[in-house]
Structure 1
Amino acid sequence: MSLATPITIQRPHIIEFGAGTAPLAGRWAAAQGFTRILVVADAFNANRVGVLELQGEVTIFGDVRPEPDVPNLEAALALAGQVKPDLVIGFGGGSAMDLAKLIAVLPGSGQTLHEVVGPEKVARKGAALMQVPTTSGTGSEAGTRALVTDPATQNKLAVQSLHMLADIAIIDPVLTLTLPPAVTAATGVDAMAHCVEAFTSKKAHPLIDMYALEGVALVGRFLARAIADGSDVEARAGLSLASLYGGFCLGPVNTAAGHAVAYPLGTRHHIAHGAANALIFPHTLAFNTPAVPEKTAAILAALGLKGGAREEDVFAAAHRYCADLGCEMTLSALKVPRDDLPAMASEAHAIRRLLDNNPRDISCEEILAIYQEAY
């Protein structure tokens, strides 16, 4: 895309960023006059909602699952139907924030989940939406997409709507201090993958490139530090900012082959999204190198890596980087059955909303080859 290519950028109306900002959640909610608040969280974060200092009637849905599915969403919607919240808060990782988006728009709308799958099919927003991330990976706090797995098809249902844009996002890196090293590594690579895939996408745009490349550089500078010392607040803040920048990339540009190839690991085998992306990242970065050699070189430089221009050299550098962070880099270690690889390749190849963004066309056979190499 040239500088003159039209592009639309959407942001949460308010972004509060920095250490110690979590209590602003309660102050903002009180100032807006919200009295029926529904917090959507996983079990761990459900036990620390107090850090948000919320007032009024607060109900917690604390059963968000990793890679949430339709039944998980339906359970949350049932509770929302009882509470009738005027404010919904996503408090957790991408799973919690994605469910919060849907809970803010579906109850009372007369629309079902399947009726709003796709771009801009949501009729309206029924409750205000606040997003408070506790990981540094998805950037969901900044975006307008929500993903839920359909157990009937084992595919992700993607809803995109400006009605699901947060009214306020509060990004407090202190909330990420509890993340263990393995989760820190996987979510950090996920944030980087958002930036890398947007930077190398067919839809890449100079307005987004600056966020994308800076997001990669922040991961290169701070991820190893945060893994080595989880209490390093500056490193955690750097990763939170990288994740936010990755979220900025997702709206107007979105991801590409990396995420498409990673998705079946989560939908079929319940592998955490960040871990799946970390495993796949070196393979798709190397595969795309012939199509975007200069951008690939810029990515490696931002990470502090030397990889050259050959696919095998790029793969070796990126694979070593992820492995040194402690990411699991084989499908066999993640208990993925080898005989499931062809079905996974077919499912990944069908995700055209992402693969059509990829700078190099990738066949079903080439996806299968990636899985086999990663096994």
Structure 2
Amino acid sequence: MDGMARPITLHQPKRLEIGAGSSARLGVWAENARRVLIIASEHTIGFAERLGLGNKASIFSDVPAEPDDRALAAAREAARALRPDLVVGLGGGSVLDVAKLVAALWDGPQSLDDVVGPDKVEGRRTRLAQVPTTAGTGSEAGIRALITDSTTHSKKAVESPHLLADIAILDPELTWSVPPAVTAATGIDAMAHCVEAFTNIRAHDLIDGYARMGFRLIGKHLARAVENGRDTEARAGMMLASYYGGICLGPVNTAAGHALAYPLGTRLGLPHGLANAIIFPHVLAYNAPVRKEKTAEILEALGLPVFDDESRVLNAAYRFCEDLGVEMRLSAHGADPDALEGWAGEAHAIRRLMDNNPRDMSASDVLDIYRATF
């Protein structure tokens, strides 16, 4: 069953606030909260005062760029000590994912391993607010959370409606200070969410609409946001694009691009956005022969020439990312060429994503892409 006739379920936050200065509205929404736990990172602590929560908020800020089960355990302990009636995620996608799981699990018996997979979270009693400070993952919009296993270095994915935010706030002023390189990489990550859902074998007409709005906003606003971080209109456009990408993840999800990006994060230590930016042109081009019309639509939205040829699609998309200031060579990020084959096997084994790809990709194909990125 294809397209509009295929049943899907779409979850979105109960309330969305968007616009410059909108983060201050959280205090009014949360006026009845008595104990608030803000999950943040060292880079986002400074925004806590803008939320209007006063002295009823405590902060847990020990969330690394790629949080693992140990970081989640520490955050859960902080919640158990405070017993919050509101959990706030204030940061990038990693922070927001940890906040989701803390809100769902802190006062219950389930472990992380108990809830890995779809629909295994038993319930949630604690309200959840999500306030992103980057425009990339769109985690504030969705019902998924990813945590790295500290032993195997693989990603553990949790999916549940109980991870959905009660309120999401998109305040572009919180992204003013994001450096140009990070703005570019996270913006391409948002684009990858939209594009991978759009070209996915599970693509759906409803989600195609969100994906189109997302990558068109990115084509219009990403270069502006990179050039001038205080361009509030461009920052707002990117936050909305990121949100649309997050909506795409729920009923459709990503595909090979994200599967190939994960080992670059867990093994090489690259930030998630950067890993996806490096991979994006290669997978877009790889899938182009079986998604010609949609690839043309993507290229046009990004202001790029429309090509049918796989190599020319790759060159155009690669130049788009490179012109934004992204260092696209794995060798420049310290990758060991001898590690690529192992990473390829690891990426190929992520079947929950690889099986969504519109063109079959072997482990050898994955290795070829890694070598091309090197």
TM-score, scaled relative to structure 2:
0.99
**1:97-108, aligned counterparts within 5 Å?**
97-108=96-107
Contact 1:80 1:107 in 2 (8 A): yes
Who is 2:250 aligned against?
A: 251
**1:1-375, aligned counterparts within 5 Å?**
1-30=2-31, 33-375=32-374
The SS at the match of 2:22 is coil
Contact 1:64 1:72 in 2 (8 A): yes
- Provide the alpha-carbon RMSD of the alignment: 0.8
The SS at the match of 1:238 is helix
Post-superposition offset of 1:292: 0.7
Distance 1:73 1:2 in 2: 38
Contact 2:3 2:203 in 1 (8 A): no
Q: Deviations over 1:147-195 (max 9, x none)?
A: 0000211100000000010000011111100101001000100000000
Bigger Cα displacement from structure 2, 140-149 vs 57-66: 57-66
Distance 1:108 1:138 in 2: 27
Post-superposition offset of 1:281: 0.3
The one-letter code of the counterpart of 1:356 is D
Distance 2:51 2:33 in 1: 14
Post-superposition offset of 1:26: 0.8
The one-letter code of the counterpart of 1:15 is L
Distance 1:88 1:270 in 2: 28
Bigger Cα displacement from structure 2, 62-71 vs 96-105: 62-71
Distance 2:206 2:154 in 1: 31
Bigger Cα displacement from structure 2, 55-64 vs 126-135: 55-64
The SS at the match of 2:330 is coil
Moved >6 Å (runs of 4+): none
Q: Deviations over 1:219-245 (max 9, x none)?
A: 111010111111100000110110010
The SS at the match of 1:147 is strand
The SS at the match of 1:15 is strand
Distance 1:270 1:18 in 2: 33
Contact 1:35 1:56 in 2 (8 A): no
- Percent same amino acid among aligned pairs? 56
The SS at the match of 2:23 is coil
The one-letter code of the counterpart of 1:176 is T
Post-superposition offset of 1:46: 1.2
Structure 1 alignment gaps of length 5 or more = none
Structure 2 alignment gaps of length 5 or more = none
Post-superposition offset of 1:56: 4.9
Distance 1:242 1:80 in 2: 32
Aligned length in residues: 373
TM-score, scaled relative to structure 1:
0.98
Q: Deviations over 1:257-277 (max 9, x none)?
A: 000000000011110000000
